[in-house]
């Protein structure tokens, strides 16, 4: 028995449990390069995150003049394909995240991931990092 007033908890993934900005930034840069745009410094890609992968890429493209939708769409598909193959190269849990998950599990809480990231990507990253089994479900956008 604990003093925690609930039995379950849901976590966001990007920017909460995991630092994923480098893998996301590399995927954006892959698409930018294919489109003839300048790449962005991977560390500055943090400023592009929020709202999902399509919005992230759109922000990077718009900052360099933009593209019509019919030219943007193939870059977005290329970004997703690249990210599918490279989504856990640099991604790591934030300091203290694993200890927090351990403490919550020890307290008997049921844990889930709830993210706007595509569910297949979220599951893939968590599996590659050996974390998927900590959660009863992984819900993605």
Confirm if 72 and 62 have CB atoms less than 8 A apart. Answer: no
- Establish whether 12 is a catalytic residue: yes
Catalytic residue among 3, 7, 12, 47: 12
Q: Collect all residues with Cβ–Cβ distance below 8 Å to 7 and sequence separation of at least 6.
A: 108, 109, 110
Q: Which residue, 68, 70, 45, 66, is CA-closest to 56?
A: 45
Catalytic residues: 12
């Amino acid at each position: 028995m604990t003093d925690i007033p609930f039995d379950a908890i849901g976590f966001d993934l990007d920017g909460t449990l995991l630092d994923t900005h480098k893998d996301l930034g590399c995927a954006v840069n892959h698409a930018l390069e294919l489109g003839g745009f300048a790449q962005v410094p991977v560390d500055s890609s943090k400023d592009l995150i929020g709202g999902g992968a399509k919005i992230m890429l759109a922000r990077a493209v718009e900052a360099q003049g933009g593209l019509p939708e019919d030219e943007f769409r193939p870059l977005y598909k290329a970004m997703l394909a690249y990210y599918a193959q490279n989504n856990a190269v640099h991604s790591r849990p934030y300091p203290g995240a694993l200890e927090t998950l351990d403490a919550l599990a020890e307290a008997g809480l049921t844990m889930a991931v709830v993210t706007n990231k595509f569910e297949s990507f979220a599951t893939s990253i968590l599996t590659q990092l050996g974390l998927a089994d900590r959660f009863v479900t992984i819900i993605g956008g």
